[in-house]
Structure formats: structure tokens, C-alpha cells
Amino acid sequence: MPTIAFVNQKGGCAKSTTSVHFAYWLTQKEASVILVDADAQRSSSIWLSSLEKPIRSEVIQSADDLLERLPGLAEQCDYLIVDGSAGLSETTRAILFRVDLAIVPCQPTGVDLRSASDAVRLIKQAQSVRKGEPKAAVFLSRAVKGTKLLDEAIALLEKTEIPVLKTVLYQRQVIADTFGQGAVVWELSGRPAAESAKEFNKLFNEVMELLP
């Protein structure tokens, strides 16, 4: 079944936050999901086990183990989600050799845009070996509303030849609070949570359209 990875060697760009929210969103649609946590901090697997209804996760951190185990895990569920690691290109490369779709969250700052181009480079390498796979897209995460940087970032990303998703995930306190609460935005009350939930819904609908 389809395997979707959130990758970017840069830490803090919302890979784990997006992976966990995507896992929950799919589960709400009655799909069976396994999340592979490839990061040394293990935040997404800890997070999923702390949800009111825990979602299955597997911690797999070595590039060799990822290469060998992802296909088998994908057969056990409707959607396999891979939360990529920070720092390690080797791990990201292994993931990109096994997934159907790679999504790159990217903060709209100079440093982060540069690291997104590192991730894009690995994606293009994988695509050239795998005859075009995996499909890939970038989206802007943790953007601050009204900043000029956002428009500049979109223009820059559009030059990478990897599609940029229309949805922008904004920086919001309610999202920063979810991990500590062992929750996801759909479970929280209040207007900021509802607005974030709407953004995640829009993002994930766009992601689903990219799946084969």
C-alpha cells in the first residue's frame, strides 16, 4: 500500500508534527496506518503512543533496516508513513529509495530554503535511479502570516522543479502545544485549533491527490 515520507534533513521544519497529524487524519478515515519513526529523537512514536487511541509505530533508524523493512511494513497497512530523520542524508536516501511519495516540509527562511534544496537534490537522485519515482512535493510550514519572506520563499521553491503545495501551514501556538498534550489539533477545542485543523485537512487532501 502507498508509502508516504516526510523528509528534510533540517530539524524543526515540522516533519514529525505533520507525520503524526497525517497518521491521525487517515485513521479517522478508517484507514489502517503504520508510522515508521526514523528519527533518533523518536518524537513521533512517543507522540502516537500517547494519543487517546494510540496508532502503531515502528522505530527504524538505520539506512539498511529502512531499505529492508519498509516494503514488508507497507504490506501490513493501508498507508505507511515515514517520519524522516534530521541530519542524516544516508537515512533520507534509503527512505527515498522505498517510498511512493516524498513530502518536504520547509520553513520559509533562508537557511531552511537552502536545506530544502539538499532534500530536493536527494529526491532528484532517487528519481533518476528509479525512473521518476518517488513523486515529490514541497510545502511551507511554520510560516508567519503577513511576512514578505513567504512570497519570496514560494518563488524560490517553485524554481526547484518539485511542485509546491498550495497549502501553507502557519506557525500557531496550538500546534506547538499538541505534542505535550499527547493530542492532535482535531481533539482540541477553540478557534485556533479549528483553524489549524482546517489547514491540515487542506494539506492532506492535496497530499492524497498526489498518490497513485
Residue 193: CB minimum distance to ligand ADP, A: 12
Residue 126: CB minimum distance to ligand ADP, A: 19
Beta bridge partners of 162: none
Residue 39: CB minimum distance to ligand ADP, A: 6
Centre a 10 Å sphere on the Cβ of residue 118 and count the other Cβ atoms it contains: 15
CA-closest candidate to residue 130, choices 157, 104, 102: 102
Instruction: List the single partner that 175 binds among Mg ion, ligand ADP, none, CB under 5 to 8 Å by kind.
Output: ligand ADP
Q: How far apart are CA 170 and CA 69, in angstroms?
A: 34
Question: Which lies closer to ligand ADP via its Cβ, residue 3 or residue 19?
Answer: 19
Residues that bind ligand ADP (CB under 6 A): 11-17, 43, 86, 141-142, 169, 171-172, 175-176, 179
DSSP code for 164: B
Residue 199: CB minimum distance to ligand ADP, A: 8
16 binding Mg ion? (CB under 5 A): yes
Question: Which lies closer to ligand ADP via its Cβ, residue 97 or residue 200?
Answer: 200
In degrees and rounded to multiples of 5, residue 160 shows phi and psi of -80, -10
Stretch that binds Mg ion, among 31-39, 98-106, 115-123, 156-164 (CB under 5 A): 31-39
Q: Rounded to the nearest 5 degrees, what angle is found at the Cα of 145, between the Cα atoms of 104 and 86?
A: 25
Asked if residues 143 and 38 have their Cβ atoms less than 8 Å apart, the reply is no
Which residues would be at the binding site for Mg ion (CB under 5 A)?
15-16, 39
